[in-house]
Amino acid sequence: MTDDTQPQPQPYYPPRPPYDPAQPITTEPGTTVWPSGGHVPSGGHVPPPTGPAGPVGAFPAAPTPHRRARRGVGLMAAVALAAAAIGGGTATLVQQWTADGGTSASSAVSGTNVSASSKGTVAGVAQAVSPSIVEISASSNAGKSTGSGVIITGDGEIVTNNHVISGASRISVQTSDGKSYDAKVVGTDPDKDLALIKLEGASGLRTATLGDSSRVRVGDGVVAIGSPEGLTGTVTSGIVSALDRDVTVAKDDGGQDQGQGQGQQYDPRQGWPFEFGGQQFNGDTGSSKTTYKAIQTDASLNPGNSGGALINMNGEIIGINSAMYSPSSSSGSSAGSVGLGFAIPVNTLKADLDDLRSGGAG
């Protein structure tokens, strides 16, 4: 019997050449093979031996551990780089989206605003704000006039022009869903051509968002919503044409000179008279008048738009439409819009709200 503990004869191998550091061998994408020496990482690949085979039954030379492929380390590094690239791109997208205003509702003023998917479109603004715009019918001994208004509280506070409801003995309001309400005057400010009315028995109404007119710039896109000629919920669009226009309008009930005995209420459907640059438009403003700084727009405004909303492309109210130039037709009645409309800046309204709620100045 052979004693396995005794040294066995070994095959002859020529002396090894001078030391030459082993070089890696690339066998497939992502797999690197080190021929010999060092630690063998788990999960690596060991290639078949490339040296001469010894005699059958002979033991090989002193076994040398083979180094397995460092595939795991290479893959981990590649994955880490890819994750960093993707993560950086995601962070950039999130930062960009936030900078573009795609934040949560915490940055919005209470009331309606345009959804992210419709932001910047006339259709989106109209869908968001139309439920907050109403048609106002004011009756007096002189007849009936029609204008528009903006809902600012869920229980029925509505802002409009003073000239829409001035001198009215009864005020009725129709909301965008077709419901009708009676309304009472809360307060008026003839100097600013503003009025606040309150619906009776209303609740859960869709309110408008009041924006910041100090941030309005010439060329900004705008949308106007109102009830021209009694056509409830009419939407038009345009741009801001100019800022700080000195517009003069009548303060008296009829928009006529009371000293001349013409005290009948003026019908906004016939074009509210105003003055600009020393000239009168749409009729005589009378002797009792007021001047305010207005936003000029080329959004189509027609008789009946008075008291309605001028809205920016974020769905915020930036002005209350108050005057428009309507050239007379050959028959003597007022013609349509020619792109000269004026709105009271919403910051004027916001500064006046407390006074209007306490009865106003008129």
Phi, psi of 216 (to 5 degrees): -75, 140
Helix-then-strand count for the chain, H and E: 4, 17
Three-state secondary structure call for residue 228? helix
Rounded Cα distance, 48 and 225, in Å: 82
100 is catalytic: no
CB 70 within 8 A of CB 44: yes
Q: Which residue in 184, 226, 227 sits closest to 202, CA to CA?
A: 184
Q: Which residue in 224, 175, 165 sits closest to 197, CA to CA?
A: 165
From the candidates 130, 140, 148, 163, give the one annotated as an active-site residue. Answer: 163
Q: Which residues contact 98 (CB under 8 A, 6 or more apart)?
A: none
322 is catalytic: no
CB 350 within 8 A of CB 221: no
From the candidates 213, 227, 306, 322, give the one annotated as an active-site residue. Answer: 306
From the candidates 193, 267, 298, 352, give the one annotated as an active-site residue. Answer: 193
β partners of residue 225: 235, 309
227 is catalytic: no
Active-site residue set: 163, 193, 306
